[in-house]
Amino acid sequence: MRVVIAGAGSMSVGGYDGKIAGLYDLEETLGRGHYAVVKLARHVFTGEKVAVKVIDKMKLDEVSRAHLFQEVRCMKLVQHPNVVRLYEVIDTQTKLYLILEWADGGDMYDYIMKHEKGLDEGAACKYFRQIVHAISFCHKLHVVHRDLKPENVVFFEKLGMVKLTDFGFSNKFCPGQKLETSCGSLAYSAPEILLGDSYDAPAVDIWSLGVILYMLVCGHAPFQEANDSETLTMIMDCKYTIPEYVSEPCRKLIAQMLIRDPGKRSTLEDIASDPWLQEGWTVDPAEVLPLVSRQHLTEEDHAHIIHKMVSGNIASMEEILDGLDRNEYNHITATYFLLAERKLRAHRLQQADLAKNSVTSPVMSVRKSGGSLDESTIQNTSDTSRFIQGSQLFKDDMANGILHNKLSEHNGGLMNGGQGYGKLLDRHRITNGYSPLLPRIRRDFSDLLE
């Protein structure tokens, strides 16, 4: 399906008419890059805030088109509560619009910079666990991020969780086969990337995870020298110093990821089961909150949303149901899921509060609440024991990304994805372009809407 925005062709990246065909009211700029501007926007029908990335297709060269092609493909594939959601893709003659979930708390880099000696290890563990969980899920679907850094992790303060963004350098990989493209950000890149060698895809994300954990607990980057040449030397020598106040278990975990030989680095399974990451583990809101999908809604709520959309002349009931069945990324499905999120928001916040305020166990929390958590709140489970099983599932299967009762294996459900809108002008971002083996990208992006 090709969605055309009336009058959009006359807009430049720097100039806006304030609306996108009456669908979104564009507000302040959140980020700016070579060929894209990201705006805060409000979905007109629902009033919900979103982030709109406006890509000027006329400024894209072949390499940039390849990046964008892979970015959207991977965003459609990855579905996880700790990955920023992609709602809608709108293609016009000169622009491509990506409608994305808006983070209300800024990015992790700015957050870390406010803590000179790093975060409390309890908080660092909580956020790092969520990042690991997201990357584990990506790798399960054979998607490598290749640009992991605090700038590409954003906060959702109301839910007490973080989400991974910016899949601009992501790509699919085949287990056992190595990739060739040098890309990422210098201070976070693995040695094999900087050497230009072919590399094992999961291992480069593991290295970057090590850098992120170091920054969380130390308050600064392990390899950030006065100039790029010195930074490169430190990375290749794997030379860094951890402050004395960092605990020994945390030191060990960092050391197991920041190893020059990728074959000796910890795997995601090793990281997920590490004592430091598991110590003091409790049910975290981010680990039990459901993604919004048709399966999380009651029939009554589903019918109410359909009625509201039909009454608002968004689409007919047949068009809405067809769009959901086809997993489309158009204004119909975007409106449906924004309304669904509103329906479930109270349940999600209630569940987060229960998890935070639990004194003894999730079982006691549910009992004290008088059974107020319904099946749409806890992954379509209807009793407390299954809630506990769902929590245990995270602990047992975090490395496999198994959490929800309905996960996408190929193209199922409303896909989510990441897009860096807080820091589009990345610090020391490097790329040598994609492999010649990549299929040539068509100049028309309508295939991304299929």
* One pLDDT digit (tens) per residue for the chain, 450 residues: 223 333 333 334 344 434 577 899 999 998 888 788 999 999 999 999 999 999 999 999 888 888 888 889 999 889 888 999 999 998 888 889 999 999 988 899 999 999 989 999 999 999 999 999 999 999 999 999 999 999 999 998 877 789 999 898 899 999 989 998 888 889 999 999 999 889 999 999 999 999 999 999 999 999 988 789 999 999 999 999 999 999 999 999 999 999 999 999 999 999 999 999 988 666 665 566 666 777 778 899 999 999 999 999 999 999 999 999 998 999 999 999 999 988 887 676 777 677 667 644 433 333 333 333 333 333 333 333 333 333 333 333 333 332 233 333 333 332 333 333 334 333 334 443 333 333 333 334 444 444
Burial of 191 (0-12, 13-18, 19+ CB in 10 A): buried
Concatenating the DSSP letter of every residue in 324-349 gives: HHTT--SHHHHHHHHHHHHHHHHHHH
Q: Which of 56, 91, 147, 284 is catalytic?
A: 147
pLDDT in tens, 152-186: 999 988 777 899 998 988 999 999 899 988 888 89
Read off the tokens for 444: 């028309």
Report the distance separating Cα 96 and Cα 80, nearest Å.
Answer: 24
Report the distance separating Cα 198 and Cα 203, nearest Å.
Answer: 12
Report the distance separating Cα 97 and Cα 357, nearest Å.
Answer: 40
State the binding site: 53
State the binding site for ATP: 53
Which of 182, 169, 163 has its CA nearest to residue 143? 169
Cβ-contact 290, 345 below 8 angstroms: no
C-beta pairs of 431-434 under 8 Å, 24+ apart in sequence:
431/63, 431/67, 431/169, 431/181, 431/182, 431/183, 431/184, 432/181, 432/182, 432/183, 432/196, 433/63, 433/66, 433/181, 434/63, 434/66, 434/67, 434/70, 434/181
24 forms beta bridges with 20, 43
10 Å Cβ neighbour count for 124? 22
Count Cα atoms within 13 angstroms, Cβ side, for 302. 13
Report the distance separating Cα 81 and Cα 134, nearest Å.
Answer: 8
383 is catalytic: no
Domain ranges of the chain: 285-400
Cβ-contact 411, 76 below 8 angstroms: yes
288-317 b/e with 16+ CB inside 10 Å = b? bbbbbbbbbbeeeebeebbeebeeeebbee
Cβ-contact 439, 66 below 8 angstroms: no
* DSSP classification of residue 360: S
